[in-house]
Each structure stands twice: as C-alpha cells, then as structure tokens.
C-alpha cells in the first residue's frame, strides 16, 4: 500500500524524455505570470530556475527577436531538454546557462528583466538569489516571480495533522508545520524584495483547486512524488514512516469517500519589484 515511501527521483535522460513539456502545475503559475507581466521590446531577460524551458521558451516566443533571453538553472538533464527545445522551435534569441542563481554569471547593471516561475520555494538561499538579481539588474530593472503561498493544500495538511495526533505523535506536528510554512506569504516575499535593494511594486493573489479521486491516487501521483513526497519523508523518523503514511492514506481515503473525492486549494501570487 505504501510503495510510494520507497520513491527516489531518478534524474535520468529516460525520465526527462517523457517529462511533459509543461506540467499542469507549472502552467497554472505561468498563466498568472503572463497575465501580469509587461512585455516590452529590446529587453535582456533572465529566467531563473528555467528547468525544462518554461516560461523561458514561451516568453522568448512572445517577446521576439528584439529581446535576448537566458535560462539559468543548475539542473543538467532539464537544461539538455531546454536546449533541444531551442533547436526544435528554431529560437535564435535564447540561451541556456548551467548555473545557480546564487552566482549569476553576468556583469553588474546588465539585465532589464528577471522572471522566475515557481523558483523561489526551491532556492536554498532566496536572500542570496535576490541580492544577485539586484546586482545584475539595471536601475529600474524588474524582478517578477510567481509562487505558491503558505496555505498550499491546507485541506491535506489538516488531515495530516489529525493523523499525527491520532497516532499520538504530537511531537512531529511541529516538524510538519515547519515544512508547511516554509512557503512564503505576501509579507515574507515583499520583505525579500525590500531587504535586498528593491522597491516592491505590485502583487496579485489567486488560487486554484486540485482534485484527486482519493488519497491512494494522490500519494502515488507521479508529480506529487516528484515534487513533495521527499520533503515529507525527510521530516519523520524512518522507522515511523510506514505507520504514519498508512494511517494518512487511510484517513485521506475515508475523507474522500465521504466528500466526493479530495479537493486541495493552491493559493498563489505574482510579485514584481523594481531595482532602486
């Protein structure tokens, strides 16, 4: 039943070759990004955490050849795929740079716009990334990003907390709370801007829902395993995993049975700041 507990992400060419061009997950945030991003000619742009090429290729297509775009990501196999897309799509205004945004290989004051779709929760040190973005941006250059916010899948976390309490593992609730709350809030993200040399200009909040038939399919969904399962497994003692996740799966399934499936809310926001 808990086969997903032994999941490890196999970062191989075989995997990436079937990794969809754009997951529905990334697409929801990308739509929010494109809804609010201002498109202008003659921009030099970096997409931080460009992964397999989103929103980089789409933005390159929408901005056209007066603009030059760079995708920055340390993920080797995703970068290979992104490079293949540049070739397949015949894009002449995009390059991929294999690098961490903690050390952006560009001169000071050289970039007009930096975007990042779903990057911020994945950076080990967002403060350093924001400082680097500020260094390479020209004066009045923009940093626009989208992210999911604290409150992500709150319905799931509530069932998870109840499960831990039922198992008399109240001590583990704190660890789960910490994992849940590592996501930003409007206040914490705006502070990242203002602490690192930006004027915080605007933000827009939205949310969407993800539905699953039951807890078993949720925990076995390939993207849930890829994106979240490891962070949950890492916070609990190894010897308790089987007990915790069996009980969680059962509770999710009972809830789904009584409520016509599972519906999890994803709060998200677009943020934009300008280099002072």
Ligand X SMILES: C[S@@+](CC[C@H](N)C(=O)[O-])C[C@H]1O[C@@H](n2cnc3c(N)ncnc32)[C@H](O)[C@@H]1O
Contact residues: ligand X, CB under 6 A = 26, 48-51, 54, 72-75, 78, 100-102, 117-119, 122-123
203 φ/ψ angles, rounded to the nearest 5 degrees: -150, 155
Q: How many Cα atoms sit within 13 Å of 27 on the Cβ side? A: 5
| Helix (H), strand (E) at residue 76 | helix 76-89
Tokens of 135: 């260094």
Crossing angle for the helix pair 56-63 and 76-89, to the nearest 10 degrees: 30
Smallest gap from Cβ 219 to ligand X, in A, equals: 19
Smallest gap from Cβ 88 to ligand X, in A, equals: 18
Smallest gap from Cβ 123 to ligand X, in A, equals: 5
Smallest gap from Cβ 120 to ligand X, in A, equals: 9
CB 48 within 8 A of CB 138: no
CA 165/CA 170 separation, integer angstroms:
5
Tokens of 242: 């089987």
Q: Which is nearer to ligand X, 78 or 229 (CB)?
A: 78
Q: Which is nearer to ligand X, 72 or 224 (CB)?
A: 72
Smallest gap from Cβ 245 to ligand X, in A, equals: 23
Q: Which is nearer to ligand X, 54 or 212 (CB)?
A: 54
b/e 97-120 (16+ beta carbons within 10 angstroms → b): eebbbeebebeeeebbbbbbbbbb
Q: Which is nearer to ligand X, 94 or 118 (CB)?
A: 118
Smallest gap from Cβ 5 to ligand X, in A, equals: 22
Residue sitting closest to ligand X (CB): 49
Smallest gap from Cβ 105 to ligand X, in A, equals: 12
Q: Which is nearer to ligand X, 51 or 215 (CB)?
A: 51
Tokens of 29: 């945030």
Q: Which is nearer to ligand X, 141 or 215 (CB)?
A: 141
Smallest gap from Cβ 135 to ligand X, in A, equals: 15
Which strands, in side-by-side order, build the sheet including 68-73?
Answer: 94-98, 68-73, 44-48, 111-117, 137-148, 262-275, 198-212
Between strands 262-275 and 198-212, the pairing is antiparallel
Q: Which is nearer to ligand X, 53 or 215 (CB)?
A: 53
Residue written as tokens 């999710």?
A: 252
Residue written as tokens 């003692």?
A: 237
Strand ranges, E, within the chain: 44-48, 68-73, 94-98, 111-117, 137-148, 198-212, 262-275
Q: Which is nearer to ligand X, 20 or 170 (CB)?
A: 20
């Amino acid at each position: 039943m808990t086969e997903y507990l032994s999941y490890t992400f196999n970062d191989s060419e075989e995997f990436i070759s079937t990794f969809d061009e754009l997951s529905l997950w990334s697409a929801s945030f990308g739509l929010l990004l494109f809804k609010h991003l201002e498109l202008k000619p003659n921009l030099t742009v970096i997409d931080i955490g460009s992964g397999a090429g989103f929103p980089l290729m789409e933005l390159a297509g929408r901005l056209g050849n007066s603009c030059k775009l760079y995708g920055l990501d340390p993920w080797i196999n995703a970068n290979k795929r992104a490079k293949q897309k540049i070739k397949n799509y015949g894009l002449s205004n995009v390059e991929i740079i294999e690098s961490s945004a903690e050390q952006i290989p560009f001169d000071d004051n050289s970039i007009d716009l930096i975007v990042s779709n779903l990057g911020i929760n994945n950076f080990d040190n967002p403060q350093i990334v924001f400082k680097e973005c500020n260094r390479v941006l020209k004066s009045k250059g923009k940093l626009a990003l989208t992210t999911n916010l604290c409150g992500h899948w709150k319905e799931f976390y509530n069932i998870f907390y109840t499960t831990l309490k039922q198992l008399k593992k109240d001590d583990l609730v704190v660890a789960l709370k910490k994992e849940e709350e590592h996501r930003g809030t409007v206040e914490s993200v705006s502070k990242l801007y203002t602490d690192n040399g930006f004027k915080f200009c605007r933000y827009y909040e939205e949310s969407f829902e993800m539905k699953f038939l039951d807890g078993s399919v949720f925990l076995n969904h390939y993207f849930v395993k890829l994106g979240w399962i490891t962070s949950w497994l890492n916070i609990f003692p190894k010897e308790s995993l089987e007990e915790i996740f069996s009980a969680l799966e059962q509770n999710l399934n009972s809830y789904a049975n009584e409520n016509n499936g599972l519906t999890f809310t994803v709060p998200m926001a677009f943020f934009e700041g300008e280099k002072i």
